Amino acid sequence: MSSELYGWVGARDDILSAYATACLEASKDPNKFDHFKKNESYRPILEGGPKLLFDTYLNHIREHNNLDVFMNNLEKFRINDELGDPDLYSDSQIGQFSPTTLKFAFNTIDILEFIKDHSDINSIKNIVEIGGGYGGLCLILSGFIQFDTYTLIDLPEVCKLVKTYTSKFPQLKGKVKTVSCKSFPTKSFGELDLAIAINSVNECTRDTQLKYFSKVIEKSKLSYIVRNPDTQERINDHKITINSLGDNFLVDDSGRLEQSYSSQIIVYIKREN
């Protein structure tokens, strides 16, 4: 599999091919699904991580204005660790969590604060996530947002895993849709309430990023993006994609997630009608 086929240049072709194969196998084989979060071919892209990642995001959560949302709803977050046999670390205050779920937990409470600042959470009905992985963030957000549709855009093999994973949770029945990034260029999206892209557009070619901005971000009232502008090229990508938006978009990219292994930024975008 060539990453260029999908405009994804953030992973070597051999790593991408192994990841896609692991997703496809987990979507079909119950035994492999039961442990897919420990599959060494799957983990370089999404799952797993050291205790440092666990500690980093737990610290971010503890410093967040929405800390109470997390502490008062631990089981709504922990639900994402029920399947797939993830790595778990323990904290005396919150118990066991995987690093990935804590990352999703931080994203969730941050998204909820972003929505509260600019909209009514009950108005968030149609969501699109670019690069949604197996659907973990979708699952967690469903505990807080009563959306009608949640569309995940990803590799064809990943979309199959999304369908398998989300089918295990009755609260998501009939709400989750997938769009293969292979067919994405021909897909037309209607009015969106929230667009999410966490560490995903960052990994695409500039042309692909601009397509996501024109077909998804511009269609959404609110957009939440996490990027890692760790090279001059990626800094330029960020500037060019933001500048592609019209004058009716308000952009705040002052949010930072400084870590010892990356320099991520959070980009909050609001479309003014």
Residue pLDDT, tens place only, 71-80 = 999 999 999 9
Query: Residue 73: what residue type?
Result: N
Global model pTM greater than 0.85: yes
Note the helical H segments in the chain: 13-28, 30-33, 51-62, 67-71, 74-78, 99-118, 136-141, 156-166, 206-215, 232-243
- When pLDDT is averaged across residues 124-150 and rounded to a whole number, the result is 97
pLDDT confidence of residue 263: 81
pLDDT confidence of residue 3: 47
The answer on pLDDT for 57 being more than 90 is yes
- How far CA 29 is from CA of 23, 139, 166, 251, in Å, comes to 10, 21, 15, 43
- When pLDDT is averaged across residues 98-120 and rounded to a whole number, the result is 96
Question: What are the residue boundaries of the structural domains of the chain, listed by start?
Answer: 3-271
Rounded to 5°, the CA angle 224-45-259 comes to: 60
The answer on pLDDT for 174 being more than 60 is yes
- When pLDDT is averaged across residues 10-23 and rounded to a whole number, the result is 87
pLDDT confidence of residue 202: 87
Write out the CATH class of domain 3-271: alpha beta
At 2, is the pLDDT very low, low, confident or very high (cuts 50, 70, 90)?
very low
Query: Residue 76: what residue type?
Result: K
Distance of CA 224 to the CA centre of its chain: 10
Residue 264 to residue 273: CA distance in whole angstroms = 29
pLDDT confidence of residue 259: 62
User: Reduced to 3 states, what is the DSSP secondary structure of residue 256?
Assistant: strand
